[in-house]
């Protein structure tokens, strides 16, 4: 789904998914028509609506602060943050890499819930400073905001990977076992267990049983949805962990094509593709201009060009220019190379040694290894 850009904070774009407007609308509606009229009867519908609107806007600002806390720690450890996205289940920071050390992960994960709990304390503090009353609309708004931030902080601390608490849990297991993969696996299974518990409680709540966490059909349905979302995320993490392990024995040098043929940028695609693609669809050329590497041209790119254009297209016009490529040393683990490719949407990466390009690694070659290991289906690759 397309996201809408709200602006940027600390250099990180803040995006909003269309699904978020649904959450925004429903929350405002429930607050204005149910929650506030129940709590604060002596006010007009207009006042309730205003209270609801202020509450929701400040709560989403709180969620952005929670995400900014994760992102700020990530940036402090030089881990790039692509964006912060608000969606129907709250917020998520697109942090491009995993932390290199357990302690980094611990601090990065715990920063968000800590900020939520502090915000909860701050809203409560403001309410106290203003007299801790129950006669003004603001009193109810402040209490609601304090309460929601505390719930957000505590809920996120559940040891359910990939939620914050699950990351904290993983970092601790990682610290103790010194085994990142095992830690991820344990934390992800804990995440799945908690997800199933949520869904069970949600069903019970939806059927009218009074379980502590959900005592209404709406609360129950919501818990089921969150459980489903979490179960899916935990399962994805397990799969991803398996992919990383399957690739662990390879470095970029192992899977690269060494010294691909070098061609001139002025050559036509026809002369490079015709008769060649049928035999070797994975053919890759280095394209040179003025004796320097100008880009990479692969079989996939050539195959994507309609054959009737092959004669008029030059290698230079069809290649991926060097400026758009990111090189990798041949020692780099293939799992990291793949992540880098996914992050930057690349199909190939030149492999360099001592400042010289010695080969090229294609995303398809890496996916081929995963296919052979039975971890992805042919359809996906
Ligand atoms: Zn968080």
Going from the Cα of 375 to the center of ligand 1, the distance in angstroms, rounded, reads 29
Distance CA 149, CA 314 (A): 58
Distance CA 367, CA 381 (A): 6
Verify that 241 and 282 share a domain, yes or no. no
Q: What is the pLDDT of residue 381?
A: 40
Look at residue 380 and tell me if it is in a domain: no
Q: What is the pLDDT of residue 375?
A: 67
C-alpha angle 86-90-91 in degrees, rounded to nearest 5: 50
Verify that 105 and 229 share a domain, yes or no. no
Going from the Cα of 113 to the center of ligand 1, the distance in angstroms, rounded, reads 6
Answer with the one of 223, 247, 271 that is the final residue of a domain.
Answer: 247
Q: What is the pLDDT of residue 106?
A: 92
Which pTM was predicted? 0.69
Look at residue 261 and tell me if it is in a domain: yes
pLDDT band at 378 (very low <50, low <70, confident <90, very high): low
Look at residue 79 and tell me if it is in a domain: yes
Going from the Cα of 201 to the center of ligand 1, the distance in angstroms, rounded, reads 23
Work out the average pLDDT over 190-219.
81
Going from the Cα of 119 to the center of ligand 1, the distance in angstroms, rounded, reads 14
Verify that 221 and 141 share a domain, yes or no. no
Which range (30-44, 180-194, 260-274) has the least confidence?
Answer: 30-44
Going from the Cα of 115 to the center of ligand 1, the distance in angstroms, rounded, reads 9
Match 């715990």 to its residue by tokens. Answer: 110
Going from the Cα of 345 to the center of ligand 1, the distance in angstroms, rounded, reads 26
Verify that 276 and 340 share a domain, yes or no. yes
Verify that 274 and 211 share a domain, yes or no. no
Q: Dihedral (C-alpha) 226, 185, 105, 336: value to the nearest 10 degrees?
A: -110
pLDDT band at 376 (very low <50, low <70, confident <90, very high): low
Number of domains present in the structure of the chain: 3
Quote the domain boundaries for residue 113.
1-157
Look at residue 347 and tell me if it is in a domain: yes
Verify that 149 and 12 share a domain, yes or no. yes
Indicate if the pLDDT at residue 329 is higher than 80.
yes
* Residues surrounding ion ligand 1 at CB below 5 Å: 112, 164
Look at residue 381 and tell me if it is in a domain: no
Distance CA 213, CA 196 (A): 14
**The CATH number of the domain where 338 resides is what?**
3.10.580.10
Look at residue 163 and tell me if it is in a domain: no
Nearest alpha carbon to residue 115 among 149, 86, 83, 141: 149
More confidently predicted of 120 and 4: 120
């Amino acid at each position: 789904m397309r996201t809408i850009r709200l602006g940027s904070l600390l250099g990180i774009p803040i995006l909003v998914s269309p699904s978020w407007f649904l959450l925004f609308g429903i929350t405002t509606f429930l607050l204005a028509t149910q929650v506030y009229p129940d709590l604060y009867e002596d006010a007009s519908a207009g006042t309730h609506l205003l209270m609801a609107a202020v509450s929701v806007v400040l709560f989403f600002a709180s969620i952005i602060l929670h995400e900014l806390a994760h992102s700020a720690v990530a940036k402090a450890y030089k881990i790039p943050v692509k964006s912060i996205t608000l969606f129907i289940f709250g917020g998520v920071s697109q942090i491009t890499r995993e932390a290199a050390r357990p302690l980094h992960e611990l601090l990065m994960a715990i920063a968000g819930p800590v900020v939520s709990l502090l915000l909860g304390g701050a809203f409560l503090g403001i309410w106290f400073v203003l007299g801790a009353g129950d006669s003004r609309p603001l009193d109810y708004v402040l209490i609601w905001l304090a309460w929601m931030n505390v719930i957000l902080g505590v809920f996120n601390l559940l040891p359910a990977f990939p939620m914050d608490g699950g990351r904290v849990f993983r970092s601790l297991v990682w610290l103790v076992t010194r085994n990142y993969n095992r830690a991820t696996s344990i934390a992800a299974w804990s995440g799945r267990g908690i997800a199933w518990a949520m869904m069970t409680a949600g069903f019970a709540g939806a059927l009218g049983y009074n379980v502590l966490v959900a005592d209404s059909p709406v609360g129950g349905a919501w818990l089921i949805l969150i459980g489903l979302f979490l179960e899916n995320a935990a399962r994805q993490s397990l799969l991803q962990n398996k992919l990383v392990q399957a690739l662990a024995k390879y470095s970029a040098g192992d899977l690269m094509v060494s010294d691909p043929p070098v061609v001139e940028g002025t050559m036509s695609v026809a002369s490079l593709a015709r008769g060649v693609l049928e035999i070797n669809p994975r053919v890759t050329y280095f394209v040179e201009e003025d004796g320097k590497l100008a880009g990479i041209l692969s079989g996939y790119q050539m195959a994507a060009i309609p054959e009737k254009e092959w004669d008029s297209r030059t290698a230079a016009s069809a290649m991926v220019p060097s400026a758009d490529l990111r090189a990798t040393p041949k020692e780099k683990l293939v799992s990291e190379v793949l992540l880098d490719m996914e992050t930057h949407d690349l199909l190939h990466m030149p492999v360099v040694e001592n400042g010289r390009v010695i080969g090229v690694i294609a995303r398809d070659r890496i996916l081929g290894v995963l296919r052979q290991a039975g971890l992805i289906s042919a359809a996906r690759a």
